[in-house]
A = this chain, B = another copy of it.
């Protein structure tokens, strides 16, 4: 995966402003780059799934007609401490509850399968200017017990690892993985 130079170059200015305005995805890209460089974990964002309709081979294989596909899997995956990891990053402007329309049914099915195959799966939720690592198992058990179309903010707060935003890496979510899945190693 190519980490565009601009992300690295922007680093200092973002830090100056305390990451203000940085999108969740950019914070996670920087975090994953940190993990990669320190050889802590290998975690990549999957490329956006695109259906290609037409390529202009006369012009350096320029794609001139394509469309966005919906994905059944989650956006990030990789390996940490020998374990398979997969997660999605979701931000909501809603202050009281997290709307479940943010997660497709086929993603829920996939999430269940990853758990079944003994992988680590979770969401990173940005809500009320805070970052939460919300375990996949908790999401599944919530869905089994509720018919609600959203998860109350208090439930997320009580059942997540709170990811403190910091300088480097910006969102050290693997600390939460250590605590939840590796017994606080």
Contacts and interface: CB of A to CB of B under 8 A. Distances in A.
A50 B51 CA distance: 10
Nearest to A47: B49
A20 interface: no
Quickly give the copy total for this chain: 2
Contacts of A79: 84, 114, 117-119
Contacts of A42: 110, 113-114, 117, 119
Contact of A72 (B1, B69, B83): B1
Interface stretch (A57-65, A89-97, A145-153): A57-65
Contacts of A183: none
The contact size tier of chain A is 35 or more
A1 B67 contact: no
Given A1-B73, A68-B61, A113-B39, A82 B47 contact: no
A50 B63 contact: yes
A30 to B, nearest CB: 17
